[in-house]
Amino acid sequence: MTSTAPITGMTGPVLLPTDPGYDEARSMWNGLIDHRPGLIARCTGPHDVAAALAFARSAGLEVAVRGGGHGVWTARLEPGFLLLDLAALNTVEVDPVERTVRCGGGTLLADLDAATQAHGLAVPAGTVSNTGIGGLTLGGGWGWLSRLYGLTIDNLLSCEVVLPDGRVVRASDAENPELFWGLRGGGGNFGVVTEFEFRLHPVGPVIQFGMVFVEQARAAAALQAYDELMREWPASVSGGIACAAAPPAPFVPAQHHFAAGVALVLAGFGDPAEHAAAVKAAAERTAPLFAAEAPLPYVALQQMLDAAALHGTRDYTKGLYLDAITPDVAAVLAEWTGRRSPTAQLLAFRLDQAISAVPDAATAFGGPRTGLAVAIEGIDPDPAQDAAERDWARGTWAALRPYATNAGGYVNLVGDLENALVDDVYAGKLDRLRRVKAQYDPENLLHVNANIAPA
């Protein structure tokens, strides 16, 4: 039986380690994470968040915040901390006339997509549907729609935020603008966001999908060609590179299921002829093992990578930014992706068009708005393979780092944050971020994150 007694003022349940449902509540998407909080505060609104934060301050407890539970950060926490669970804050309210949406801090992308697509609208947000909107947005947020409409933070209009001192404020360009700047990329350093408001865009409900797949033996040449081709696409064609096994999907010839290689994935949101031309150009350039093109519901596109990201997936991730896939970079990528396990993958997405149109200083986003964002994911369901997957991801990252444009990498792709330098992640924005931190969380209560120390 759950209890609210440990936290005065909480209306939502508080789970203790002896309560039924505790183990399920503490579990995260990433199977490498095995924390044991002393209390789990299942918040039902900003008042519960404020009560839980007040309790943590008075009791001297560390605080970790869980939105969707989809993070890759695998650093250990000492048992006994307070886990602030926002899963119940998952309502989605769409205004189809104003083309805006408000959603709770615990909302999953699947819920957001379902509600907005009912009106033929969408937010540029993520590529895996069981991702939480909170962590994704606060780190920056990239999605299939980003070449056309920008990063997730570029579409954020306002936030409801519970500050560490218990105050509930609104952050937008008009209210608490410096806090709003910091929330757009600075992570969960400044407060707990209980509601997001986004701008919506017309999308789908059916878009165009394409894939061009080249076998591993010709990976280096294909990778260079893919990068060059992506630069030529109109903004309405988006996509990325996947160094992964060919999926056992209906559009993949059966004899090529699970083949090792590199795929160019294309999603078309405009004229189908533009998308078809991009697929054709890629096939002519690379002579692929197979190429496919078909209409696809937008929600199916958003769920396409879910199979590699099921709850309990053991995922060790490293990330960095590249300016381009040069011959030297292509050689490194081909060598290291050739060493990966059948379940590991390396993904690369181009940052340009609407992403690059936003001035770098406009948000706290910790990375460049040009080039390529790279995710290196060591994945295996078998715990016995944890060390091998981690070593592969670290080795690939180390081999690519001499060519990286930002030593810190994308904050949402840092699996071993205790070894990452926040100075590198945020580069020239760190002083301003520390001033924002000093104003809104001077005691650094919210430090279980890519922590920014107060000035």
Per-residue pLDDT of the chain (455 residues; tens, 9 = 90+): 355 557 888 999 999 999 999 998 988 877 778 889 999 999 999 999 999 999 999 999 999 999 887 776 666 678 889 999 999 999 999 999 999 999 999 999 999 999 999 999 999 998 888 899 999 999 999 999 999 999 999 999 999 999 999 999 999 999 999 999 999 999 999 999 999 999 999 999 999 999 999 999 999 999 999 999 999 999 999 999 999 999 888 888 999 999 999 999 999 999 999 999 999 999 999 999 999 999 999 999 998 877 776 777 888 899 999 999 999 999 999 999 999 999 999 999 999 999 999 999 999 999 899 999 999 999 888 899 999 999 999 999 999 999 998 766 788 887 665 545 677 888 889 999 999 999 999 999 998 888 898 98
| Burial tier of 78 (Cβ tally within 10 Å: 0-12, 13-18, 19+) | exposed
Q: DSSP assignment of 171-235, as one string?
A: EESSSSHHHHHHHTTSGGGS-EEEEEEEE-EE--SEEEEEEEEEEGGGHHHHHHHHHHHHHHS-T
Q: How far apart are CA 350 and CA 240, in angstroms?
A: 7
Whole-number Cα distances in Å, 200 to 118, 127, 155: 12, 17, 8
3-class SS of residue 262: strand
**C-beta atoms surrounding 389 within 10 Å:** 22
**Can you give the length of the chain in residues?**
455
Q: How far apart are CA 5 and CA 55, in angstroms?
A: 11
pLDDT tens digits along 92-145: 999 999 999 999 999 999 999 999 999 999 999 988 888 999 999 999 999 999
Q: How far apart are CA 418 and CA 178, in angstroms?
A: 27
Crossing angle between the packed helical segments 386-400 and 327-337, to the nearest 10 degrees: 170
Q: Are 373 and 318 in contact (CB under 8 A)?
A: no
3-class SS of residue 69: coil
Q: How far apart are CA 231 and CA 127, in angstroms?
A: 20
Beta strands 192-199 and 156-162 are antiparallel
Q: Are 226 and 262 in contact (CB under 8 A)?
A: yes
In three-state form (DSSP H/G/I as H, E/B as E, the rest C), the secondary structure along 346-388 is: EEEEEECCHHHHCCHHHCCCCCCCCEEEEEEEEECCCHHHHHH
Q: Is domain 206-418 annotated with CATH 3.60.15.10?
A: no
Return the DSSP state at 230: H
Q: Are 378 and 317 in contact (CB under 8 A)?
A: yes
3-class SS of residue 398: helix
Nearest Cα residue to 267 out of 245, 234, 244, 290: 234
**C-beta atoms surrounding 401 within 10 Å:** 13
Amino acid identity at 47 = H
Q: Do domains 92-203 and 206-418 have the same CATH topology?
A: no
Which alpha helices (DSSP H) does 202-324 contain, by range? 219-232, 272-286, 298-302
Query: Residue 318: beta bridge partners?
Result: 376
Q: How far apart are CA 25 and CA 27, in angstroms?
A: 6
Q: In the prediction, which pLDDT does 421 show?
A: 64
Residues contacting 196, CB < 8 A, separation 6+: 102, 103, 105, 107, 133, 134, 137, 156, 158, 159
The tokens describing 371, both together, are 């080039």
Query: Residue 206: beta bridge partners?
Result: 297
Domain 14-85 classification at class level: alpha beta
Amino acid identity at 419 = N
Distance of CA 365 to the CA centre of its chain: 13
The H-or-E segment that residue 110 falls in is: helix 109-117
> Considering the entire predicted model, what is its pTM?
0.93
Q: How far apart are CA 425 and CA 189, in angstroms?
A: 14
Amino acid identity at 84 = L
The fold for domain 92-203 equals 3.30.465
3-class SS of residue 345: strand
Crossing angle between the packed helical segments 272-286 and 219-232, to the nearest 10 degrees: 150
Nearest Cα residue to 215 out of 255, 263, 261, 264: 261
Amino acid identity at 181 = W
Q: How far apart are CA 388 and CA 369, in angstroms?
A: 32
Instruction: Please give the radius of gyration of the chain, using alpha carbons only, rounded to the nearest integer.
Output: 21
- Listed by start position, the domains of the chain span 14-85, 92-203, 206-418
**C-beta atoms surrounding 118 within 10 Å:** 12
